[in-house]
Amino acid sequence: MSFSSLGLSAELLRAVADQGYTEPTPVQSRAIPVVLAGRDLMAAAQTGTGKTAGFTLPLLQRLLKNPLEAGRRKPVRALVLTPTRELAAQVADSVQTYGKYLPFTTAVIFGGVNINPQIDKLRRGVDIVVATPGRLLDHVQQKTIDLSKVEVLVLDEGDRMLDMGFIRDIRRILALLPQRRQNLLFSATFSEDIRKLAAGLLKNPETIDVAPRNSTVDLISQRVYQVDKGHKRELLSHLIGAGNWQQVLVFTRTKHGANRLSEQLQRDGIQSTAIHGNKTQGARTRALADFKQNRVRVLVATDIAARGLDIDQLPHVVNYELPHVPEDYVHRIGRTGRAGSSGEAVSLVCGEERGLLKDIERLLRQDLPRATAEGFKPNPNARPEQAEKSNHGAHAPRHAHKPQPGWHSRPGSRSRGPRFAASRSGNR
């Protein structure tokens, strides 16, 4: 199948060709005809599968098919809601990339930046708004946006929206939209909460599931290094240096922990920077740009980056601390192994995280291969420390984790490990 067989305009096909794409991905080939037919859609797709173009292209085609009367001030005709600023910026870039030969205007709206330029752009009239919920409601309160003419609503990363507590904001926004509209819901998984949201939002939707639930990307190899908690940073520096890793995304649980680890790596002679919710939007944008352009070797991030960062061909992801919610492990490592590239996910696991690892393996239905590094073998007689309450972050652990037998009896492995079959942070 080619893009030309999907019913897209010549302008859209030209923009697609400019990006070097000739054949649609599975989510694109299935979603685009549904959206063009005017149907509501509920789609599960992992990151890196091309889902953004899967709704951007047909959304633009729908607007092109129904032109407005000449001379009228532009109303907002399409609204895309995303959970994070980074994702909003990336979706807006996609809209502008694929719509560059079309007469539509786009505004991206999120917090952490001056609201006045956004107000000026909205007053001039825009066709498409890409927004995070909090800042969008700020504009609603200031009466700088009118959502009464929206024809298409897209909820992107719906499960993350719910995880981050946006459900009340979403309901407030839905109440401002016209009853007659097309609704598209994209999510990494079809959880029970997502199904409940869909039931109240979608009308007789088509359902597409191109990512088996809670599985990990095909091309990602995974390894667990067993290490005492106090030696994690030394092990991380060792792995980066010994492996000559040039681009590494490292996840911590807390903002303070991200800052501290970044500073420690700097002292080890490894160029690094941190990105998290306490950083200004300008600082976050600069940190991401420095990382993408290889000016820094390591980007230390909290889970705000688990879904919102789009980094082509990222070779290494490290879980410096395991997440308390097992699904977040899948989201984190999904930043590598994208768009056909292979990637490696490494987890540094100390004794107190044994239960968290067990939860992740239960979710994946697979034991992850263990490895040890020379000089960093954990002390088998060390008593696991109590997990610090301050490290619980946005999610408390689901249950108390007791020490698991067999932690040190598992055979070590330096192999890249098995390959798994496929899954791919609230900002105002």
Say yes or no: 198 and 230 in one domain: no
Q: Is the pLDDT of residue 280 over 90?
A: no
Give a yes or no: residue 50 inside a domain. Answer: yes
Residue 425 inside a domain? The answer is: no
Categorize the per-residue pLDDT at 400 as very low, low, confident or very high, splitting at 50, 70 and 90: very low
pLDDT over 50 at 427, yes or no: no
Contact 162, 189 (CB under 8 A): no
Average pLDDT, the chain: 83
Condensed to tens digits (0 to 9), the pLDDT of residues 241-254 reads 999 999 999 999 99
Of 180-184, 222-226, 317-321, 327-331, the least confident: 327-331
The answer to whether residues 81 and 181 belong to one domain is: yes
Q: Which domain holds residue 330?
A: 220-391
Residue 5 burial (CB count, 10 A): 11
Looking at per-residue confidence, does 132 or 196 come out higher?
132
Q: Say whether both 190 and 320 belong to one domain.
A: no
What integer pLDDT is reported at residue 401 of this predicted model?
37
Residues 157 and 274 in one domain: no
CATH code for position 182: 3.40.50.300
Q: What is the mean pLDDT of residues 133-145?
A: 96
Task: Tell which residue, 177, 225, 207, has the closest CA to residue 77.
Answer: 177
Judge contact between 373 and 238, C-beta under 8 A. yes
- When pLDDT is averaged across residues 387-413 and rounded to a whole number, the result is 36
Query: Are 189 and 56 within one domain?
Result: yes
Whether 141 is in a domain gets the answer yes
Cα dihedral sign for 77, 78, 83, 88? Answer: negative
Residue 403 lies in a domain: no
Number of Cβ atoms within 10 Å of the Cβ of 379: 10
pLDDT of the residue at 217: 55
DSSP state of 3: G
> What integer pLDDT is reported at residue 399 of this predicted model?
36
For residue range 191-206, list pLDDT tens digits in order. 788 888 898 899 999 9
Per the model's pLDDT, the better-predicted residue between 331 and 246 turns out to be 246
**According to the model, what pLDDT value does residue 346 have?**
96
pLDDT, average across residues 200-221: 75
The answer to whether the pTM exceeds 0.75 is no
CA distance linking residue 309 with residue 411, whole number of Å:
35
Average pLDDT over residues 410-425: 33
Same domain assignment for residues 8 and 62: yes
Residues 237 and 386 in one domain: yes
